[in-house]
Amino acid sequence: MEESVQGEYFELLRFETVGGDPAKLRDCVNCASWLRRWLGKLGFEGEMLYPEAKGSTMPPPILFAERKGDEGAPTILVYGHYDVQPADPISEWKTPPFEPTVVDGRVYCRGSQDDKGQFFAFLCGVRDYLGSASVKPTLKIVLEGQEESGSAALEEMAPSLRRKLAADVLLVCDTSAAANMRPAIIAGLRGVSHFTVRLTGTNRDLHSGEYGGIAPNAAQAMSELVSSLHLRDGSIAVAGFRDGIIPPEHDELKAAEASAPTKEELEADIGCDPVGGQLGRTIVQRNSFDPTIEVNGIHSGYGGPGAKTVIPCEAIAKISMRLVPGQTPRAAFEAVRTHLEANVPRGMKLSVEDYNPGAGGFRLPLSSPLFRLAEHVLSEMDPRGPVFVWDGASIPVVSAIREASGAAPLIVGWGQPEDRIHSPNESYSFAQFEKARDWARRILSALAG
């Protein structure tokens, strides 16, 4: 990586763009402004789109930039997000989380991969391409600051941005390559929704001796309630949750199984036996084609040093759902809410809050001409050729952008498990950065014809 590119990359990483934290709004605005100036040097006309405030909270701005191309050339839309996950727990970072540090060819910093590293490498490839291309397509860039907290503002604004976003192809660089950096084309993504469950019982935390055996315990009640969401074999116990699911075609399942990591590889990655999900289902079925209901966190009572013998009066659970084609976020949520209401432990009051519908999952046809073109380009980059992956993760806003723009999505990323995205000590290697940069240059050239 050239010293000048590294300097730009590190400058971008130093913005503490935790989009879900109102205290970091200034960092988000400054980062979006920096990106607007950077793109301006390439001939892009950029504008900052400010969503409406929600109560007293102003969402981070959305940056839209466009560079007009040659007449008759295609229009290509590129999506990325400049917001990052919180750095917590800070104590587990080996280097300062917002000061890029190079160790053995890897850059350690929050956002070094997800998604600043990936989209900025792609934009550097755009710059390379524009410096040498004979035919230049119209290029549109949309970079948001809220993806890690649900993309609510962009999803809400997308229908009104149809003319701005209209394109032939939508390129996204926010996913992973296969094992050993073999290229991967994402042929489908699960959708995601999330919400908060609150149980309240007594009017205060109570002494567990004076009131034990009398007062209902909110922590215990929440444990019982979230346990009711699944049967002992790991299958989902919520009536109606799986209604309408469209199972994968035989060729999709076969292609997905061919590129799947082994049980041993996953165990080495996550540090335990990969036994989540329903017994009797393969890893690919559980991670790519089955929906999930996950408890992201439970908070109740006392968790500090020593003991505090109380009966908690309240418990909170954060829950997310990964959805597959055929499910709708609203119907899945209503099925879960109905289940929760029917299983409230005695003595408790239930409230379901902070519902974010997100978006449903989607799968793209393997016969797509765009996939065939991408397969050719990626085979030139790597003689092993690409694999097709149905990613268990979600980029909810892609569905909204796809609908508003009318563009065919092509999702190719260069992440690896060792990048530790969303965890302390996130990193991205210079080799991965250069892969993403090369991919951008090559796919733009192929699309421009």
For domain 191-248+272-359, the question of CATH label 3.40.50.12280 is answered with: no
The pLDDT of 237-257, averaged and rounded, is 95
Q: Is the per-residue pLDDT at 320 higher than 80?
A: yes
Q: Is the per-residue pLDDT at 289 higher than 90?
A: yes
Q: Is the per-residue pLDDT at 358 higher than 90?
A: no
pLDDT of residue 13: 98
pLDDT of residue 209: 97
pLDDT of residue 360: 87
CATH 3.30.70.360 placement within the chain: 191-248+272-359
Higher confidence at residue 394 or residue 234? 234
pLDDT of residue 207: 98
pLDDT of residue 214: 97
pLDDT of residue 119: 98
CATH 3.40.630.10 placement within the chain: 3-190+361-448
Q: Is the per-residue pLDDT at 349 higher than 80?
A: yes
pLDDT digits (tens, 9 = 90+) for 369-391: 999 999 999 999 999 999 999 98
Q: Is the per-residue pLDDT at 399 higher than 80?
A: yes
pLDDT of residue 89: 95
pLDDT digits (tens, 9 = 90+) for 127-177: 999 999 999 999 999 999 999 988 889 999 999 999 999 999 999 999 999
Q: Is the per-residue pLDDT at 244 higher than 90?
A: yes
The pLDDT of 384-406, averaged and rounded, is 90
Task: Using a pLDDT cut of 90, give the percent of the chain over it.
Answer: 90
Q: b/e map of 311-337 (b: 16 or more CB within 10 Å)?
A: bbbbbbbebbbbbbbebbbeebbebbb
pLDDT of residue 57: 83
pLDDT digits (tens, 9 = 90+) for 411-439: 999 999 999 999 999 999 999 999 999 99
pLDDT of residue 8: 98
pLDDT of residue 30: 98
pLDDT digits (tens, 9 = 90+) for 94-129: 999 999 999 999 999 999 999 999 999 999 999 999
Higher confidence at residue 405 or residue 449? 405
pLDDT of residue 149: 86
What's the predicted TM-score (pTM) here? 0.83
Q: State the amino acid at position 314 in one-letter form.
A: E
CATH top-level class of 3-190+361-448 = alpha beta
Q: Is the per-residue pLDDT at 343 higher than 80?
A: yes
Q: Is the per-residue pLDDT at 56 higher than 80?
A: no
Higher confidence at residue 17 or residue 394? 17
For residue 109, what are its two tokens? 């910093």
The pLDDT of 237-254, averaged and rounded, is 96
Higher confidence at residue 179 or residue 91? 91
pLDDT of residue 328: 94
Structure confidence at residue 182 as a pLDDT band (50, 70, 90): very high
pLDDT of residue 259: 82
